[in-house]
Structure 1
Amino acid sequence: MLYESIDTAAINDEDLPWVPFSPYSDEVFIKYIKCDPVRGETITLLKAPAGTTLPRHYHTGTVIVYTVKGGWKYLEHDWISKPGGVVFETAGTSHTPVALKEYGDEIITLNITQGDLLYYDENDNICAIENWKSGVQRYRAFCEAQGIEAKDITSFSA
């Protein structure tokens, strides 16, 4: 198949469920838009209540985060990302995300993640690895448990 024959796809986020980001938090939700096994990339929306701190993680690839709602930061940095803010995270960096209460009741971010996210416990041991494959597994398990027909979030078409 040539790239010219791949049709443009439009994905409506209302057609996709918010999936709990278990086992890390039952209050944080992920909406999996695309999980690309070819590029090792995920495109997601993340929703978390203000005041939430997510586990520290390490990036094996780059991450671009666009803030849709609320405000958030990393414990390791002084900046704050508010609606319209774009954060570029280089491969080889680690951070601890915090959803800030002074910017509303929740945050929503659009995330384009390449490679793996390595999550650390309080003793600096890797306790989990998140990537396109774990995203597909979490999404399919959620859809099955809820009786929702899962979409093919790995394909290039809608």
Structure 2
Amino acid sequence: MLPLAALPQGELLTLNVDDLPLIEDSLGPGVSTKLLRLDMEAGKRVVLATFAPGVSLPIHYHTGTAEVYTLAGRWRYREYPDQPQTAGSYLYEPGGSVHTFYTPADNTEDIVMLIFVAGANVNFTDDGQFHSILDAVSIKAQADMFAAQGVEGLRYINGSATVIAGTD
């Protein structure tokens, strides 16, 4: 018997990123991801993302917080050109912040980041028009689509279990 009240845990919730498929161009050309965790109720997601040199993403507004740990490479926000993020950088983004992500075209290596996001990224075009929303719901739909297309080994932690995409 445990010395305190605790939720029962039937399995250790763990994944080895080396065993997960890299979904190439999953968030656009040059942006590949490995999905690690989705929490649909809390609107949280964790991904390991790889960006090719020269990638630029639409300006985005965070409805919640984001935390980014850069494992390899160099990237920036257009709004903060004098603050490049490099291997070993940890970045915290408060809810309500707005950024335009890009990877310099002269990078000699891919950028690899571990990204924790709560809430949604609301994306806009260069002229300020609505572009898209990226959140736990859209990422789950995308994972299910890739699983239906035959991507093998696509699984992630969801709540209190490890699930195979397309089966929950």
Fold equivalence (TM over 0.5): yes
Q: Does residue 88 of structure 2 align to residue 84 of structure 1?
A: yes
Tell which deviates more after alignment, 60-69 or 92-101: 92-101
- Equivalent position SS for 1:143: helix
Aligned-pair Cα RMSD in Å: 1.9
Q: Does residue 11 of structure 2 align to residue 5 of structure 1?
A: no
Calculate percent identity across the aligned residue pairs: 25
Q: Are 1:46 and 1:109, in contact at CA under 8 Å, matched by a contact in 2?
A: yes
Q: Does residue 21 of structure 2 align to residue 17 of structure 1?
A: yes
Deviation, 1:150, is: 4.3
Task: Please identify runs of 4+ aligned residues in structure 1 that moved more than 6 A.
Answer: none
With structure 2 as the length reference, what TM-score do the two structures score?
A: 0.83
Pairing 1:1-158 to 2, within 5 Å after superposition: 3-6=6-9, 7-22=11-26, 25-77=28-80, 78-148=82-152, 150-151=154-155, 153-158=157-162
Task: Answer with 1 or 2: which has the greater Rg.
Answer: 2
Aligned counterparts of 1:3 and 1:34: Cα–Cα separation in 2:
22
Aligned counterparts of 2:29 and 2:147: Cα–Cα separation in 1:
16
Structure 2 unmatched runs, 5+: 163-168
With structure 1 as the length reference, what TM-score do the two structures score?
A: 0.88
Q: Are 2:21 and 2:154, in contact at CA under 8 Å, matched by a contact in 1?
A: no
How many residues were matched structurally?
A: 156
Deviation, 1:39, is: 1.7
Aligned counterparts of 2:25 and 2:114: Cα–Cα separation in 1:
15
Structure 1 unmatched runs, 5+: none
Deviation, 1:156, is: 2.6
Deviation, 1:44, is: 0.4
Q: Are 1:55 and 1:121, in contact at CA under 8 Å, matched by a contact in 2?
A: yes
